[in-house]
Amino acid sequence: MPDWLATSLITLLKAILVILGLLTGFAYMTLVERKLLGRFQLRPGPNRVGPLGLLQPVADAIKSIFKEDINVTMADKVVYTIAPIISVTFALLAFGGIPAGPAGSLFGENPWVYNLDAGLLVLLAMTSMGVYGIFLGGWASGSKYPMLGGLRSSAQMISYELGMGLSLLGVLMLVGSTRLQDIVGWQAGNGWLLLFQMLGFVLFLVSAFAETNRAPFDLPEAEQELVAGFLTEYSAIKWALYQMAEYISMFTASAMMVTLFFGGWKGPQFLNGLIPGISEWPIVWFIAKMAFFVFFFIWVKASILRIRYDQLMRFGWKLVLPLALINTVLTAFYIAYFKASWGLWPLVLGSLIGVGLLIYVSDAVRSLWNTPGIRRAEDLSPRAHTVTPANRQTLGGD
């Protein structure tokens, strides 16, 4: 067998393995999410199908594949069919570039499907391709709720993509490479990037929530206002493909956060004292860290209210974008003038102050950046909310 054929066969095999892993992960993710949401709300969650509800995903999959596949009359047939495929394809594709261990650690092979020099850029490009699937699906349904859902969703995703891209510039400046392996290696030598880029991480986290349409930014799927957003006219497996894309992009976002900010597949060094070599168990650490983030996604969904659409856009454009720029400039300034004499560690203090400021600012600025024009007149007068005999009538009385 020639060499190139063997290589490409192995790549194909790894790709299929990764995809099957992600599909299983997605199926059980739905179960885990429902179980955890149940636990958060003091109820058991699904526990009827199979022991502990473990066969629930299988039942769901069988049901959705045997359902009637409806093509709505108003739909643009071709685009309507292709859109979910685009969505799921690029969601799956993005995950293949993430390294889950050092070279050669997967039975002599490399634990990634493809590893490019511009790995980070490719990852960002793939995740942003999800916009096309969602918007085309919403448009092709030929109905107004999917159309509005798709529009909202695409505007939201492209807005937060900016924050996502800009919040990573500090990381790139420190590491000086876009290869994900190099970023992991840098963190093994210098400490997790989370420490040096805490503000960048928080902005990235927020953007990742918005980019994957997860709560509290799941407006495109706001059941109470838009039916089901771009999903309204979909049924059977096409609907399931969209759900799949959403969950897989959640996995990808978790994996990106692990790789970029949490030391990737390397475990903490001090545990080596307890069990020798434990910090070098590549895939175990990677999956453990990813699981934490996936849990975090669900935790947030269970606890935080959905925000309004204008608040969402204002938050993205007026807070995340400028703060990411400020973070970039300050990091650049530090590297340019102080790194040579003071080393990296003062950045930790700087990033802590940055996060503190973010928390303070996001609370204080909320009312400041409201547009006066769209407020009602009575909101502006300070006495409107105190009940006096004069305005008791207008407030409705008691």
Partner 1 sequence: MLLAALGIGVIAVVASALLGPKKASRAKLMPYESGNDPQHGGVGTGQRFPVHFYLVAMLFIVFDIETAFFYPLAVAYQKLLPFAFIEAFTFILLLLVGYFYVLKKKVLEWA
Is 328 a binding residue for partner 1 by CB under 8 A? The answer is: yes
**Residue 21 and residue 83: Cα distance in Å, rounded?**
23
Is 325 a binding residue for partner 1 by CB under 8 A? The answer is: yes
- How far are the Cα atoms of 7, 117, 282 from residue 12, in angstroms, in the given order? 9, 20, 22
Q: Of these, 49, 58, 173, 302, which contacts partner 1 (CB under 8 A)?
A: 173
- How many residues at the interface with partner 1, by CB under 8 A? 80
Is 18 a binding residue for partner 1 by CB under 8 A? The answer is: yes
Is 330 a binding residue for partner 1 by CB under 8 A? The answer is: no
User: What part of residues 46-105 is at the interface with partner 1 (CB under 8 A)?
Assistant: 64-74, 81, 84-85, 88-90, 92-93, 96
Is 190 a binding residue for partner 1 by CB under 8 A? The answer is: no
Q: Would you say 138 or 282 has its CB closer to partner 1?
A: 138
Q: Contact region for partner 1 (CB under 8 A) — 14-22, 199-207, 210-218, 388-396?
A: 14-22
Q: Would you say 88 or 294 has its CB closer to partner 1?
A: 88
Biggest CA-to-CA distance, the chain: 93
User: What part of residues 289-318 is at the interface with partner 1 (CB under 8 A)?
Assistant: 309-310, 313-314, 317-318
Is 329 a binding residue for partner 1 by CB under 8 A? The answer is: yes
Binding pattern for the stretch 241-280 against partner 1, x by CB under 8 A and - elsewhere: x---------------------------------------
User: What part of residues 352-371 is at the interface with partner 1 (CB under 8 A)?
Assistant: 371
Cβ at position 122, least distance to partner 1 in Å: 11
**Residue 238 and residue 220: Cα distance in Å, rounded?**
17
**Residue 336 and residue 333: Cα distance in Å, rounded?**
5
What string of DSSP letters covers 313-332? HHIIIIIIHHHHHHHHHHHH
Six token digits for residue 105: 């650690």
Q: Contact region for partner 1 (CB under 8 A) — 37-45, 136-144, 299-307, 352-360?
A: 136-144
Cβ at position 93, least distance to partner 1 in Å: 5
Q: Would you say 141 or 254 has its CB closer to partner 1?
A: 141
- How far are the Cα atoms of 167, 315, 357 from residue 322, in angstroms, in the given order? 10, 10, 13
CB 30 within 8 A of CB 298: no
**Residue 290 and residue 115: Cα distance in Å, rounded?**
20
**Residue 112 and residue 104: Cα distance in Å, rounded?**
10
Q: How many CA atoms lie within 13 A of 350 on its CB side?
A: 22
Cβ at position 140, least distance to partner 1 in Å: 9
Is 25 a binding residue for partner 1 by CB under 8 A? The answer is: no
Is 236 a binding residue for partner 1 by CB under 8 A? The answer is: yes
CB 314 within 8 A of CB 160: no
Residue 246 CB-density burial (10 A; 0-12 exposed, 13-18 middle, 19+ buried) = buried
Closest CA to 218 of 307, 87, 295, 86: 307
Q: Would you say 144 or 392 has its CB closer to partner 1?
A: 144
What string of DSSP letters covers 261-297? HS-TTPPPGGGGGTSTTGGG-HHHHHHHHHHHHHHHH
Is 125 a binding residue for partner 1 by CB under 8 A? The answer is: no
Q: Of these, 183, 202, 206, 240, which contacts partner 1 (CB under 8 A)?
A: 240
Cβ at position 78, least distance to partner 1 in Å: 12
Cβ at position 280, least distance to partner 1 in Å: 27
Q: Of these, 2, 51, 108, 176, which contacts partner 1 (CB under 8 A)?
A: 176
